[in-house]
Amino acid sequence: MTSNRRRTSQPTDPSPDVLKISGAAGPSYPYSLYRLLREREPIHRTPSGVWVLTRYADIAGVLRDPRFGREGFDRHFGSDTTSDGNGLSARLETGGHRQSMLFRDPPHHTRLRDAVSRAFTPRAVEALRPRVQAHVAALLDRVAPTDGMDVVADLAEPLPRAVIGELLGIPEAHRPACAAWSTAVAQSLDALPIPEDWPLVEKGQMARRALGGYVRELVASRRTKPEADLVSTLVEAADEDGLLSDSELVAMAVLLLVAGTETTVSLIATAIWALLRHPDEPARLRAAPWLLPAAVEEALRWESPVQRTWRIAKVDVDLAGQRIPAGALVVLLLGAANRDPARFADPDRFDIRRRDLGHVAFGAGVHVCLGAFLARLETQVAVSSLLRRQPTLQLASDHAVWRSTATLRGLATLPVTW
């Protein structure tokens, strides 16, 4: 995973293409740009014709509005071509996007989500707690004899990859390769609203094809010999229940692997970073452990792992005095919504006792994050275990190194000592 220490100059007006912002510059960026956009042009149209929203009310409304959906992204940019003459539509088809639940609306989205949703209910996720605790204990045992660790490399990355690997039935020896493909796919999300950024798209598509090929082999193996894992459940949904086609089955497994790791990696690390940057909060949490769920929710709001999502307008929509035409791409800056002072008092303050709840870090509406309960569980166990085992835990440096990505915001490294 790469990082970028170079500071990015702050914009003086919202005219730069805000879709290309990067979180690598530091903790205040991109929030200063979000604030500027929210104050000057909360519904911003970029030169490329993409609409960018920054206010909580507008974003929460669009997330729940059936007039906005996920289908149609390829048609919206279908005329764009690369040097080899292939349009975005062809690239999306090659990458399997069209079969993914991420790019479908009801009724197909409902059918696909139903095929896997039982594995991610609160009750099903809670049943995973002992395994999550065992993984966290093993990871912390490895660094216990030392005087410090890199939270990202030693805890935040290996934990969700082990959990989702077990859930899907991926052998431990195969997980490093799957993790590398998953990271490349996640990084390519930055290019989704920017179709001319072909190198990033192509790298992600290569990783998606490799990951899809691996999943197809895993599916074939489970058809021959089912096991107690989620891939076997998906095979049953395809073969016996008829809920999924083979291509949808593969796309679902790829989505679960990518979404089930990359965002949780960011959440675990930024939650610990946020707590350690505010020394009173870990002490408060140790004294009142029942505040742990609230602490994770505040971390989600304050440093949202997914900074932006998008929708396609299905019809012409009037929004806060602006006419958004049918077929337009609308980018929703979740990180901006979660720092909107019209919704959250003193939004730049990290406070685990915050009472104005209701962040949109996991989205909302029919496309709300399927793995939200699992991400919360893993983060709660990781945070509580680390704080309990290392009462003198502190940051090794005041300088945070961020990933050079805009869609998924997270730390590249987080050295701590005790």
Q: What is the pLDDT of residues 336-387, one digit of tens each?
A: 999 999 999 999 999 999 999 999 999 999 999 999 999 999 999 999 999 9
Q: Which of 105, 31, 15, 60 is nearest to 302 (CA)?
A: 31
CB atoms within 10 A of CB 40: 11
Q: What is the CATH number of the domain that holds 289?
A: 1.10.630.10
| Token duo for residue 152 | 């990202």
Cα separation, 126 vs 120, in Å, equals 9
Domain count for the chain, please give it.
1
Res 159 pLDDT > 90: yes
The pLDDT-based confidence of 101 (bands split at 50, 70, 90) is: confident
In a domain, 11, yes or no: no
In a domain, 9, yes or no: no
| Token duo for residue 259 | 């979404």
In a domain, 3, yes or no: no
In a domain, 7, yes or no: no
Q: Which of 34, 56, 53 is nearest to 43 (CA)?
A: 53
Residue pLDDT, tens place only, 12-49: 444 445 666 555 555 557 898 899 999 999 999 988 78
The pLDDT-based confidence of 323 (bands split at 50, 70, 90) is: very high
Backbone angles phi, psi at 407, to 5 degrees: -70, -50
In a domain, 231, yes or no: yes
In a domain, 4, yes or no: no
Residue pLDDT, tens place only, 45-76: 988 788 999 999 999 999 999 999 998 776 65
Which structural domain, as residue segments, surrounds residue 233? 18-417
Q: What pTM was computed for the model?
A: 0.89
Q: Which helix (H) or strand (E) holds 67?
A: none
Backbone angles phi, psi at 302, to 5 degrees: -75, -40
Residue pLDDT, tens place only, 207-217: 888 999 999 99
Burial of 211 (0-12, 13-18, 19+ CB in 10 A): buried
When the pLDDT of each residue in the chain is averaged and rounded to a whole number, the result is: 86
In a domain, 207, yes or no: yes
Three-class SS string for 291-348? HHHHHHHHHHHHCCCECEEEEEECCCEEECCEEECCCCEEEEEHHHHCCCCCCCCCCC
Backbone angles phi, psi at 56, to 5 degrees: -60, -50
In a domain, 190, yes or no: yes
